[in-house]
Amino acid sequence: MVSHLHLTLASWQYDRILPLVDGTVRVEGIEINYVPLWPQEIFYRMLKYKEFDVAELSFGAYLTSLFTDRSFVAIPVFPSRAFRHNGVFINARSGIERPEDLVGKRVGVPEYRQSAAIWTKGIMSDLYGVKPHSVEYFVGPLEDPTKRRRYFVILSETDVLPKEEKFKVRRVDGKFLSDMLAEGEIDALYSALVPSTFRSRPDRVKRLFQNYVEDEKEYFRKTKIFPINHVIVLRRDLYEKHRWIAKSLYKAFDEAKSIVMDRLSNASGTLHYALPWLFEHYRETVEVMGEDYWPYGLSKNYKTLDTFIRYAYEQGIIPERVKPEDIFAKETTDT
């Protein structure tokens, strides 16, 4: 083993990785140069230029890369996860009152292979019968990037669109999905970010699931799935030279997360995060999802990973359905 490698790590400033980047947790054999960036910027720079040694990456983008240039290899660390009922927005005049009404409608998605979009399309199909081919999708930028802070770029040049004719997908040029939803040019929107018109045009833009927290809790009770949005990847050329770094990084990320979860579970009189009912929120989360509600590793996430892969296949994003253990560095598949 090399005594020390110096690697760049690009990721957003999540609480669950801060012990690693502030030096509380050391990575065996590796010195980390941490580059804190908004995820969309990381994705663009990693996919287009391979700028970083280790980076947070869209799970959908990573999965599709395995069938194209195979530039990356992932470890089962998932810095970003989110339930998806909260990200379904509708035009108030579209006639959509329940999920089943989405069939035959025009739906905007910032990227067809965006992780949030893959999850939402899959959930709508599994739970409500809205099959991926039963909707007409409009792919384009959510907002004008010159007017929204941190709205970096939509990866349209690297997005993967389905080849099968049964999927109805068209690109949007010169317009923004947020405005199109408010004006009724699309009927609904699947988005990880809240569209600006949700606040500026509340008469026109609403959530489909008004009581989404309870809907998401019920979804977890039924499926035991906490959707994964992002994964940590290594440049494959670096990994092939130093195979040991995959396990070293996995262990460090896992230890960093454990420290943060311990802070949440061992409540003292001082709030570690700026939420006044933090401890109560933590207790409610554990009641629904259990103590280890943000798991890393392959085994505890197997069903979630397999479901995402199935969705990507069913939506025409990947050409074949692979096994979860085949998409991670083999040194980490025993986790």
Whether 5-81+228-332 and 85-223 share one fold: the answer is yes
Q: Are 37 and 203 in contact (CB under 8 A)?
A: no
> What is the pLDDT at residue 159?
64
What is the crossing angle of helices 302-314 and 115-128, to 10°?
90
Q: Are 120 and 190 in contact (CB under 8 A)?
A: yes
**pLDDT tens for residues 176-206?**
999 999 999 999 999 999 999 999 999 999 9
Whole-number percent of the chain with pLDDT over 70: 94
Check whether domain 5-81+228-332 has CATH 3.40.50.720, yes or no? no
Which of 231, 259, 257, 251 lies closest to 30, judged by CA? 251
Q: How many residues does the chain have?
A: 335
User: Which residues of the chain fall short of a pLDDT of 50?
Assistant: 1-2, 151-156
Q: Which two tokens stand for residue 110?
A: 């910032």
Q: What CA–CA distance (Å, rounded) separates 37 from 131? A: 35
Query: Which residue has tokens 């996430």?
Result: 301
> What is the pLDDT at residue 263?
84
Tell me, what DSSP letter sits at residue 111?
-
> What is the pLDDT at residue 267?
61
Taking the CA atoms of 162, 79, 307 and 53 in sequence, report the sign of the dihedral they define.
positive
> What is the pLDDT at residue 165?
85
> What is the pLDDT at residue 268?
59
**b/e per residue 78-114 (b: at least 16 CB within 10 A):** bbbbbbbbbbbbbbeebebeebebbeebbbbbbbbbb
> What is the pLDDT at residue 152?
46
> What is the pLDDT at residue 151?
47
Q: Which region, left, alpha or beta, applies to residue 316 given φ > 0 means left and ψ of -120 to 50 means alpha?
A: left
Q: What CATH number is given for 85-223 in this structure?
A: 3.40.190.10
Listed by start position, the domains of the chain span 5-81+228-332, 85-223
